[in-house]
Amino acid sequence: MMDATVDSLGGNRFLEEGCKFCGYLIEKRIGTGGIGAVYLVRHEMLDSCFALKVLDPEVAASKPEYVKRFLREARIASKIRHPNLVTVHDAGYDEAAGIYYIVMDYVQGSNLRQVLGLGGVLEDPEAVRIVSHVASALDAAQRFGVVHRDIKPENIMLTSDGIVKLIDLGVAKVMGGIDTLKTMDKAVFGTPLYISPEQATDASTVDTRADIFSLGVVFFEMLAGKAPYKGCDTGEIVHRLLSSETIPDVRTLNPRVSPKLAAVMSGIRAIEPLRV
């Protein structure tokens, strides 16, 4: 075994399996993004598995706003304890490797996007169960004044025993505080297919209602097999979102959806977001 060094990550290189990092043994890489990677690690002393999220040193050096975003995620997530939210256990900066890192629960399972990719749609009871659990997590976040701002299938995990976990507070904001991700007026964060109209114009001012709207869009997709708004590019999606266009009746896309749930879906475009 060897200790991790800075040369093992940046420039499309990664921490190697079997190396040691801050008291953890790297078992395998389980995810890769544009600004870093996530690893399955084992705590050497506790012999317990965790997920290690690291920020690419080259990104950290060239884009300090990403360091702020990374550390904000750790601070926010460490304060909220809820069975449907991933718990953060540790975070820091390893000077020897030049790497910022977050240690969190390892969620063994699939994200909702992968689940929908296998089956296309979910049955009503399962869709309601998932939405209810995510809504419960958002309620806990609201009590801490936190708005997630990126509710989408990729950020909803289903563990191997069926537990729902909401992940990724990287673009979250604290209501009433200065948005440290806001680099310009009318800043927009989130994924176009799922954001609310107000978030599409200025994400720095949104509150929990924006998350509820996004969860409603995810709910629609679980039942219908696709999101209510589509487009060839981000601009077209946002234009349709901000227009007076009504969403399709979910039962025309999936006749098995109950009339009661279809009625809930009809409220997704209302000014007041749907409540689960």
Which residues touch 153 (CB under 8 Å, ≥6 apart)?
111, 112, 113, 115, 116, 218, 221
Cβ atoms of 150 and 191 within 8 Å: the answer is yes
Judge whether 150 counts as a catalytic residue. yes
Q: At what angle are helices 208-224 and 112-119 packed, to 10 degrees?
A: 20
Among 56, 105, 150, 179, the one annotated catalytic: 150
Residues 6 or more apart whose Cβ sits within 8 Å of residue 174? 76, 144, 145, 146, 147
Rounded-to-integer distance, Cα 135 and Cα 28, Å: 32
Q: DSSP strand E in the chain: where?
A: 20-21, 24-32, 36-43, 49-55, 88-94, 99-104, 109-111, 146-147, 156-159, 164-166, 173-174
∠ CA 94-31-101, rounded to 5°: 15
Please state, in angstroms and rounded to a whole number, the distance separating the CA atoms of residues 205 and 210. Answer: 10
Facing residues of 32 across strands? 37
Catalytic site positions: 150
